[in-house]
Amino acid sequence: MLTAERPLLRALRSIDGDRLARHLETRGEYERAFPLFFRAVAQEACARLWDRFPGAVAFVGEDCRGEARARWPHLARLPLDWVALAFPGVVMWDLHVGVVADLTARPPVVRVGVHATPPVWSRLSPLLAALDWPALAGAPLVHHEAHAVGEVQLVEPPRALALSDLAGEAARLAERAARYYEIASPLPAKAGIVSGPPHEVPRP
């Protein structure tokens, strides 16, 4: 007499073994690529900024694992696939230019923009809204509420991350992040978040 197959065996039969084998073969390459990719974005962005903005500091998500876990204990999966460019005198978590990837999406996507906590955002929002972002940055930006991490964001629409050219992508994203940093750099002083004379927003 045949017995019915139990649920766990049935579930295993639904797994595509060939795809699983390919994943296992390439997992080492993936682990070598990330977070190396984000470290390269951080390094390249700072190299573009430090002549004019020696106080710019880049943080890589993987290097902030402990603090991220303390800040977001409610998250089962910590979002660590990012780079944050911080402004002098402002806590990075409160305000930064962010390069954020979603490596779980198919295809993986990335977006760049200005991120802030709601209290800081409320002070910056009128200044951000007054800027002509398409003229200054060459891209229209969208308002995004990242409730899970307690951020408000003004960001480019997500675009596919070119995994076949990670070095080129790192250079391109670093250039975008540095440009957003230049544009946003006068705003903390203008909003009274930090003291000191505000610089002018750079022209396109």
Q: What is the pLDDT along the chain (204 residues), one digit of tens a residue?
A: 567 788 888 898 899 999 888 888 898 898 899 999 999 999 999 999 999 999 999 999 999 999 999 999 999 999 999 999 999 999 999 999 999 999 999 999 999 999 999 999 999 999 999 999 999 999 899 999 999 999 999 999 999 999 999 999 999 999 999 999 999 999 999 999 987 665 565 666
Query: Does residue 2 lie within any of the structural domains?
Result: no
The letter for the amino acid at 105 is A
Provide the pLDDT for residue 10: 87
Query: Does residue 73 lie within any of the structural domains?
Result: yes
Query: Does residue 115 lie within any of the structural domains?
Result: yes
Query: Does residue 134 lie within any of the structural domains?
Result: yes
Tokens 């080129």 sit on residue: 168
Query: Does residue 104 lie within any of the structural domains?
Result: yes
Provide the pLDDT for residue 185: 96
The tally of domains found in the chain comes to 1
Provide the pLDDT for residue 5: 82
Provide the pLDDT for residue 147: 95
Query: Does residue 15 lie within any of the structural domains?
Result: no
Cα–Cα distances (Å) from 129 to 17, 52, 115, 158, 188, in that order, read: 51, 25, 14, 20, 14
Provide the pLDDT for residue 46: 97
pLDDT tens, 63-112?
Answer: 999 999 999 999 999 999 999 999 999 999 999 999 999 999 999 999 99
Query: Does residue 148 lie within any of the structural domains?
Result: yes
Query: Does residue 199 lie within any of the structural domains?
Result: no
Whether the CB-CB separation of 145 and 163 falls below 8 Å is answered with no
Provide the pLDDT for residue 78: 93
How long, in residues, is the chain?
Answer: 204
Q: CA 8 to CA 43: how far, in whole Å?
A: 47
204 Cα distance to chain centroid: 23
Provide the pLDDT for residue 202: 62
Q: Which domain does 124 fall in, by range?
A: 36-190
79 Cα distance to chain centroid: 9
Task: Say what the alpha-carbon torsion angle 149, 117, 136, 127 is, to the nearest 10 degrees.
Answer: 160
